[in-house]
Homo-oligomer: A and B are copies of this chain.
Amino acid sequence: MYRDKTCGELRLSDAGKPVTLAGWVQRTRKMGGMTFVDVRDRYGITQVVFNNDTDAALCERANKLGREFVVQVKGTVAERTSKNPHLPTGDIEIIAESFKVLNRSEVPPFTIEDNTDGGDDLRMKYRYLDLRRPGVRSNLELRHRMAFEIRRYLDAHDFLEIETPILVKSTPEGARDFVVPSRMNPGEFYALPQSPQLFKQLLMVSGFDRYFQIAKCFRDEDLRADRQPEFTQIDCEMSFVEQEDVIRMFEGLVKHIFKYVKNIDFTDPFPRMTWNDAMRLYGSDKPDIRFGMKFVELTDLVKGHGFSVMDDAELTVGIAVPGCAGYTRKQTDELTEFVKRPQIGAKGLVWVKIAEDGTIKSSVGKFFSDDDLRAWAERMDAKPGDMLLLLSGPAMKTRKQLCELRLEMGNRLGLRPKNVFAPLWVIDFPLFEWDEETQRYYAMHHPFTSPNPEDVPLLHTDTGKVRATAYDIVVNGTELGGGSIRIHDSELQDTMFELLGFTPEKAHEQFGFLMDAFKYGAPPHGGLALGFDRFVSMLAELDSIRDTIAFPKNNSGRDVMNESPSPLDPAQLEELNLEVLPLKK
C-alpha cells in the first residue's frame, strides 16, 4: 500500500502519530513561511503543512505542486491551531517530513469542485475528471449503498437474484429494440432486452417463486431530456401472490431503503388512490401529494350564465391556491400564458381572488355575481386570501392542463421541497387504452396484465371499463415503478391477445415460447419493476438521472468521452455479412 491512512479518517486523537497518506492535490497556499497543501481522496481532505524554517528544500518542492498532482506524503499528525469545523479532519493537519510525486497532472480543463467552472459539454468529454467532484462522487456512493440495501432486503425475503440474458429475441411490439447481428448465424440478429419481463415470467413457471434482478435494460428511443439508451431496473416477480402481497412486499422495500439510506422512517402504510381518483383529483396517474390543491369540479355551478367557454365545456375544474389573492394582474397574466403554452394547450384561464376582507375579484366578473363566485369558493373550500384557478374544456385534456398548473403553483409556493418524500400507490388502472388514431385498444401496461377478477365479465361487453390488477408506486409526482398480477390462465391470455388485435399466428410468433411454457403448470404470479436510476436521483435530490450514472450518454446517444458509437472496420462488417447503406439526404 502507498498509504496507511486515508485522507478522511484522521482525528484529534491521532495527534502525534506518524502517517503516510496518498491522494490528489486539491490546492496549495503559501502563508508566511508555511505552505499548506490540501490532499484529497475518496474519503476526504487532509491538510498537509510544509515549514520553510524546518526544511526549506522540501517546502520549495511542495510549492511546485500543481492541482491534481498525485502525491504520497509522510509526516506526523498534529493539532491545528486554527481548526476547520466544516471538515471531519479539520481538527488536525500533517506536519510533512517527506513526499513523493506519484504522478503529475496537466492543468485540468475545469476546477474539481462542486461549484465548478466547467460547462456541461466539457465535463462530459472529461467525465473521468467530472467524477472527481464530491457531489458527483456522492451520487455514485449513494447508488452503491441503495443497490446493496435493495439486495439485503430482497435476500432476507427469500428472493433469488437471477441473471437473465442480454442477447435475447427481438420483438417488434413496444419500443424499438437495439439489435446485435450474429456472425455465427448470418442474417440473424439478437436484441438487447427492453426488460426481463418474459424471462421473469418463465422463472415463475420454473418454480423460482421469488425472483429479482438489478438489470440493465435498453430502449432505442429518441432521447428526451432525461432518458438514457441503457438504464437499470429493479426487476421482481413472485409466485402464488395477489396484488396485496406484492404491494406489501415492495412497500417494505421502499421503506427499507428510505430507512437505511436516508434515515427516514415511514411508519404508516403508504396511501393508495385509484387511477380514477388520481385523474379526477390531480389530473395525473402520478400525483404529487406533497401538497394539496386538489381539483374541485364546478361544471354544474358554472353553466347557464352566458359564459360560452364554460357553457360549452364538458368539464370545468379548478384549484384553490392558498394565500395568492394578492397576485397582481401581471402575475395572473403569466399564469394564463403558462397554460396557453403549446406544451399545455389550454385556451385560457379563469381566476377568482378572494381577498382577506372578503371582497372578490375575478376575470369573469362580467358573467358571474359575487354570490356565484362565493358558491364556487365554498365548494372549493377556499379561505379568504386564496385564489381560485379554473380551466374548462374536454374532461381528460382539461385535467391534464390543470395538473401542470397545479404543479407550477406548487413550485411557486415552495410546496415541493426535494427533501420531503410523499409515496403513493396508484391502483385500479384501466386494463386497456383506446387509441383514436388506429381505432383499437392497446394494453395500458402489457398484454400479460391480469384483469381485475370482478371485471372479467366486462371483457367483451365493456372493454374500456375493465380494471387491471396493476399498480404503480409514485413518489413526489414521479412514477418510481409499477407492476401487475399476470395472467396465468392460457384461455384468458388468448382472449387478451384477441382483444388486443393479435392474430393467433402473430401472438404465437412473438410470445410462443411463453405461451408454450404456460401449458405446463404456470403458477399465479405477479411482480413489479422500479426504475433504479430514477430512485437514485430521487434520493440524491437531483433533477436528472444523468448524474446517477457513471458514464452516461448524451441526448444523441453518444459517449463524447470515448467517441462512441463509431464506424466499424470494413472487415468486421464483412464478417457480419452486412453492408451500411449510403445515407439518404
A residues lining the B interface (CB < 8 Å)? 1-3, 22-24, 40-43, 68-70, 72, 102-106, 108, 126-129, 131-132, 137, 140-141, 143-144, 147-148, 151, 155, 160-170, 172, 176-192, 198-199, 202-203, 205-210, 216, 218, 220, 222-223, 229-230, 232, 240-242, 245, 488-489, 513, 517, 519-524, 549-551, 553, 556-559, 561-569, 572, 575-581, 583
A568-B189 in contact given A151-B151, A202-B128, A519-B105 (Cβ < 8 Å): yes
Complex-state Cα separation, A199 to B23, whole angstroms: 20
Complex-state Cα separation, A199 to B128, whole angstroms: 9
B residues less than 8 Å from A203 (CB atoms): 128, 131, 550
Kindly report which residue of chain B lies nearest to residue A220, judged by CB atoms: B183
A519-B106 in contact given A216-B163, A557-B185 (Cβ < 8 Å): yes
B residues less than 8 Å from A72 (CB atoms): 240
B residues less than 8 Å from A162 (CB atoms): 140, 143-144, 550
Closest Cβ of chain B to A353, distance in Å, is 49
A70-B523 in contact given A550-B164, A577-B583, A580-B578 (Cβ < 8 Å): yes
A155-B163 in contact given A187-B567, A562-B169 (Cβ < 8 Å): no
Complex-state Cα separation, A163 to B231, whole angstroms: 10
B68 engages A521 (CB within 8 Å): yes
Interface of A is mostly: loop
Kindly report which residue of chain B lies nearest to residue A25, judged by CB atoms: B521
A179 engages B568 (CB within 8 Å): yes
Work out how many copies of this chain go into the complex: 2
Question: Can you give 26 contacting A-B residue pairs, CB < 8 Å?
Answer: A41-B209, A42-B207, A42-B209, A69-B521, A105-B520, A105-B521, A106-B519, A128-B520, A129-B520, A131-B207, A163-B232, A165-B559, A167-B218, A167-B553, A168-B559, A179-B568, A179-B572, A180-B192, A181-B181, A185-B565, A187-B583, A188-B564, A188-B566, A189-B565, A191-B564, A579-B580
Kindly report which residue of chain B lies nearest to residue A523, judged by CB atoms: B70
Contacts A70-B523, A167-B178, A169-B564 known; 11 new A-B pairs at CB < 8 A: A1-B240, A1-B245, A2-B240, A3-B240, A24-B521, A131-B203, A140-B160, A151-B151, A163-B549, A191-B564, A577-B583
Closest Cβ of chain B to A176, distance in Å, is 7
Complex-state Cα separation, A179 to B183, whole angstroms: 10
Among candidates B41, B166, B180, residue contacting A207 with C-beta atoms closer than 8 Å: B41
B residues less than 8 Å from A185 (CB atoms): 556-558, 565
Closest Cβ of chain B to A48, distance in Å, is 16
Kindly report which residue of chain B lies nearest to residue A181, judged by CB atoms: B179
Complex-state Cα separation, A218 to B126, whole angstroms: 26
Complex-state Cα separation, A240 to B189, whole angstroms: 43
B199 engages A550 (CB within 8 Å): yes
Kindly report which residue of chain B lies nearest to residue A488, judged by CB atoms: B103
Closest Cβ of chain B to A323, distance in Å, is 45
B residues less than 8 Å from A164 (CB atoms): 550-551
Complex-state Cα separation, A457 to B167, whole angstroms: 46
B residues less than 8 Å from A220 (CB atoms): 183-184
Return the 9 tightest CB-CB contacts between A and B, nearest first.
Answer: A105-B521, A169-B564, A131-B206, A188-B565, A2-B240, A182-B565, A42-B209, A68-B521, A144-B160
B562 engages A2 (CB within 8 Å): no
Complex-state Cα separation, A162 to B353, whole angstroms: 53
A190 engages B68 (CB within 8 Å): no
Among candidates B105, B144, B210, B222, residue contacting A161 with C-beta atoms closer than 8 Å: B144
Complex-state Cα separation, A127 to B207, whole angstroms: 12
Complex-state Cα separation, A181 to B24, whole angstroms: 39
Complex-state Cα separation, A40 to B192, whole angstroms: 34
B residues less than 8 Å from A177 (CB atoms): 572
A70-B557 in contact given A189-B565, A567-B188, A567-B189 (Cβ < 8 Å): no
A517 engages B170 (CB within 8 Å): no
The interface centre, meaning the residue of A129, A161, A207 with most chain B CB atoms within 10 A of its CB, is: A207
Kindly report which residue of chain B lies nearest to residue A202, judged by CB atoms: B128
B residues less than 8 Å from A561 (CB atoms): 513
A180 engages B178 (CB within 8 Å): yes
B residues less than 8 Å from A564 (CB atoms): 167-170, 188, 190-191
A148 engages B144 (CB within 8 Å): no
Complex-state Cα separation, A522 to B103, whole angstroms: 6
Closest Cβ of chain B to A181, distance in Å, is 7
Kindly report which residue of chain B lies nearest to residue A102, judged by CB atoms: B524
B residues less than 8 Å from A205 (CB atoms): 128
Complex-state Cα separation, A220 to B180, whole angstroms: 11
Complex-state Cα separation, A66 to B353, whole angstroms: 72
Closest Cβ of chain B to A250, distance in Å, is 15
B residues less than 8 Å from A550 (CB atoms): 162-164, 199, 203
Among candidates B166, B182, B524, residue contacting A218 with C-beta atoms closer than 8 Å: B166
B residues less than 8 Å from A170 (CB atoms): 564, 566, 568, 572
Closest Cβ of chain B to A356, distance in Å, is 55
Closest Cβ of chain B to A524, distance in Å, is 6
A517-B563 in contact given A144-B162, A208-B42, A581-B577 (Cβ < 8 Å): no
